[in-house]
Amino acid sequence: MQITREVFTESYWFGLSTIEQLVYIGSDVEIAIDLRKNGNKEQCDNAIERALELLQLAIIDPQNKGRLRELNGIKIALLDDFHGNNECQSTDEAWHKYFACFRHLVNAQKKER
């Protein structure tokens, strides 16, 4: 797999917590949603590809061994929503809510420090 953003080397990525990884993935999903709403298909596809690349790194990260079912489920649902027939019936609102939880957790952790 070729990572499009050099800042996300495996060593950097594996140093992040799972929650932080999901915040980065969610950021790209949010961008893809906004681009899709605005009819920017090519840019939307690029954003979702970035999210899927980061998700794949999260899947191979040893710290996430116990979350593989969830991470693979996210991957399936994203592919279905953005490149399939949305048989999983994902909604933009559901994606927003899902990833907002992780942003909230990261922000709460920063406040505690």
**53-85 residue pLDDT tens:** 999 999 999 999 999 999 999 999 999 999 999
How is residue 75 written in tokens?
């991957």
Q: Answer whether 0.85 is exceeded by the pTM.
A: yes
Region of poorest pLDDT, from 8-12, 19-23, 35-39, 88-92: 8-12
Residue whose token pair is 């999210």: 51
How is residue 112 written in tokens?
């505690």
Using an 8 Å Cβ cutoff, are 19 and 110 in contact?
no
First to last CA, the chain: 35
Rounded CA gap, 25 and 65, in Å? Answer: 17
Q: Domains of the chain: which residue ranges?
A: 17-112
